[in-house]
Amino acid sequence: MSSILLFAVAACMGLCMPARAAADPIRIGAIFPLTGNSAVNGQSLRDGVLLAVDEINKRGGVNGNKIELVIEDSKSDPQAAAAAFNKIEAGPPPLFYVSMLSNVGVALAPLADAKKVILVGVSTSALAFTKGHDMVYRYFPLAQGEISPLVRILQNIKAKKLGIIYSNEEYGTELERLLRKSFEDMGGTVASQSFVLGDTDMSRQIASLKAQDAIVVATLGASLTNTVRQLREAKYGGSVLVPSSGAVPAYFLLPEMQEVYVSAPIIYNPGYLYAREASDRFVARYKTPITVYAANGYDFIKLISGLLEDRPLTREGVHDALAAGFQYSGVFGPVLVKPGEHEMGFPMYPAQILNNTLSFR
């Protein structure tokens, strides 16, 4: 899997715009949160995209055309993102756009539809992002992608009584609903406790679930590590499981995260050669470990560049290539997208945090 594998599985539709000349650059509009609440993750994403672009351009670009990034700061804000989109559109039009964050993506989606230009969201989890939008695609797993590895872990540890502490917002509630159904279908019992994002005291939720064999913390960001820490302080004796947001190095290096089970992307598995090579190049360039955000951006640029080989480089051509469906293997492993699908989710795998590293099981 050390090389990109891409093939279309449906015929392309007719094109209504001429292909660009071989010497013209491929402009990509990149709207990332470089400042604001998500700046650290946005900067990591940007670095992964830049690494991929440089690697592709050094090999001659796509169909002889070099890639040119047009990066604008969304400031982690939907209105600023919309202004950035309009600013980019006012110049030479990009072939397509890529953005990060759910609230930003939801704001940009109708603009992309109106301009008939593809928008791809990375690190974007809102269900509404792609719903009802012909020009909008997502390269990021939804809550559904977390269920299989979490269930496999629960089976391996022989849990019969499951507790779920979840954030009362779209991601947390969807993860709780899907995991509850899967575990109950296996014959287990589930007890759940919710909290509002921003709450910091989880003592009530933990006290209610202390008798469970295992507890899944179904949330994102600081709420996840805060809840795990409080489970440790409460001396909870069962197994603790978290979704893939707990797999980033900044989290799995924390003392409270040791021995926690996690649904993790294979980018962190040193045994997966293609991911390890990409990670080594990222570390050599930026002197910092690769994150899932950097890998998400890196892999998408590699995916789309391979998909566009030997195709007309027009906005319609990008739409047709994505709509046709494809199979791809990159730093996140195999991805299969059926014709007409707008969700390009990559797989997760069971892992456990041991000795400050991810041990894949």
DSSP 294-311: HHHHHHHHHHHHHHTTTS
Region(s) of the chain under CATH 3.40.50.2300: 7-142+272-337, 144-242
Give CA–CA dist 81/79, Å, rounded: 5
* CA distances for 272 relative to 18, 157, 262, 331, 333, angstroms: 41, 25, 18, 8, 9
Pick the CATH number of 144-242 from 3.30.200.210, 3.40.640.10, 3.40.50.2300, 3.40.30.10: 3.40.50.2300
CB contact at 8 A, 109 and 129: yes
CATH class of 7-142+272-337: alpha beta
Q: Which residues contact 153 (CB under 8 A, 6 or more apart)?
A: 239, 241, 261, 263, 350, 361
Single-letter amino acid, residue 57: N
pLDDT of residue 220: 84
pLDDT 10s digits, 166-209: 999 888 999 999 999 999 999 999 999 999 988 999 999 999 99
List beta partners, residue 263: 350
At 361, the pLDDT band (50, 70, 90 cuts) reads confident
Q: Which of 2-6, 125-129, 220-224 has the lowest mean pLDDT?
A: 2-6
pLDDT 10s digits, 42-53: 999 999 999 999
pLDDT of residue 249: 83
The encoded tokens of residue 63 equal: 């169909």
Q: Which residues contact 160 (CB under 8 A, 6 or more apart)?
A: 187, 188, 189, 213
Buried/exposed code over 323-341 (b: 16+ C-beta within 10 A; e: otherwise): bbbbebbbbbbebebeeeb
At 273, the pLDDT band (50, 70, 90 cuts) reads very high
pLDDT of residue 148: 96
Which DSSP string do the residues of 170-231 spell out, in sequence order?
A: HHHHHHHHHHHHHHHHTT-EEEEEEE-TT----HHHHHHHTTSSEEEEE--HHHHHHHHHHH
Q: Where are the alpha helices (DSSP H) in the chain?
A: 39-58, 78-90, 102-115, 144-156, 170-185, 203-209, 221-233, 249-252, 273-286, 292-307, 315-323
pLDDT 10s digits, 57-72: 999 999 999 999 999 9
Q: 63: burial class by Cβ within 10 Å (0-12, 13-18, 19+)?
A: middle
CB contact at 8 A, 179 and 188: no
